[in-house]
Amino acid sequence: MEPVMKKTDVVRAILGERFHMTPSHTVGKAFAPTNIALCKYWGKRNQELNLPVTSSLSVSLGDKGATAEIKIHHEPEDMIILNGESVSSNTSFSKKLIAYLNLFRPAGMRFHITLQSNIPIAAGLASSACGFASIICALDKLFDWKLAPQQLSILARLGSGSASRSVWSGFVEWHAGIREDGMDSHGEMIAYSWPDLCVGLLILNQQEKIISSREAMQCTVQTSALYAAWPSTVNRDLQILKEAIQDHDFHRLGCAAESNALAMHATMLSAWPPIQYALPETLLAMQTVWALRQAGVPLYFTQDAGPNLKLLFLKSESDCVRHSFPAIDIVQPFICN
């Protein structure tokens, strides 16, 4: 059955007359940070528009993310350069990107896109989130659309759900919304800073995902009996996280984030076929975190659709965390480098 509302309908509704504008500049360039969800987006109510079942909440990772540079390309095909290397148009990466650009290009126009990312692609570090967010922001500059951040967030969501949160730095809540056209499903910045907050990126395995998060969430929604409990888990965790952010209550923030991630993975374990992103090294790292916590170190983790962990702690614990996890890459989301 054809979806009622298509991506192109959303683009036309937001751009209006601007859809027919020719580029005002020779190049549009924008950076978007990657984001780590403290309360996860897991499950869609609309596959076409990437509309989520629940709201979610993330923290953007400062200067870790992607920079997109887009120009008009006077050739028959788009040219895509990823981290300095040209990418063939028949890879799944290019196909996804070209399908996204098709939503915005005036007839016959081709683009030259340079995407530079300073995070490992496909290592569960939300590379598609910052990729699509940087691309829509670069298109906005190229065409001089001057869209509002919430409109950019809606358009970024059409590429990848979590990209709707990468339009901002700091804490961001993505409101699930209730409308069928998704015009109320966008990110919103939570205007609280937390300079001492650290996110440690613990790359445990760089292999490609066993299953894409898109397929994994669909399988979970369709087959997991535990998924019925997910919306109420999210409601509880979102409330706690927002209060913890306001109060700078690190313990509450860490507990809610870790518990939310584990609850999401529990829904996957109870799906059929079962989905398990953790590897032995993931479980070992979790056990180290739990042992340190038992010993009094305020340290928590979150895990996305991959085997790697993101550790949450305050700056005062940095040395201790580095000692236990020498390979960790520590980011302070609220401190500019």
Give the footprint of ligand 2P0 on this chain (CB under 6 A): 37, 40-42, 50, 56, 126, 128-129, 160-162, 213-214, 304-305
Q: Which run of H or of E encompasses 236?
A: helix 230-247
DSSP-assigned letter for residue 181: T
CA distance 90 to 92: 6
Nearest distance from C-beta of residue 129 to ligand 2P0, angstroms = 6
Using the minimum distance from each CB to ligand 2P0, give the nearer residue, 142 or 263: 263
Q: How far is the CB of 31 from ligand 2P0 (least distance, A)?
A: 19
Which of residues 35 and 142 has its CB atom nearest to ligand 2P0 in the complex?
35
CA distances from 146 to 24, 157, 330 (A): 11, 18, 34
CB of 21 to ligand 2P0, least distance (A): 27
What 8-state DSSP symbol labels residue 232?
Answer: H
Task: Tell the smallest beta-carbon distance from residue 291 to ligand 2P0 (Å).
Answer: 25
Among candidate residues 137, 142, 82, the one with its CA nearest the CA of residue 114: 82
**Position of minimal CB gap to ligand 2P0:** 161
Return d(Cα 48, Cα 62) in angstroms, integer: 30
Is the Cβ of residue 37 or residue 312 nearer to ligand 2P0 in the bound state?
A: 37
Give the shortest CB-262-to-ligand 2P0 separation in angstroms. 12
**Dihedral-angle region of residue 67 (phi above 0 means left; psi in -120 to 50 means alpha; beta otherwise):** beta
**Strand ranges (E), the chain:** 27-39, 44-46, 51-52, 56-72, 79-82, 85-86, 111-117, 171-174, 187-190, 197-202, 300-303, 309-314, 329-331
Whether cis (ω within 30° of 0) applies to the bond prior to 273 is yes
CB of 252 to ligand 2P0, least distance (A): 19
Write out the two tokens for 57: 């909440």
CB closer to ligand 2P0 out of 121 and 297: 121
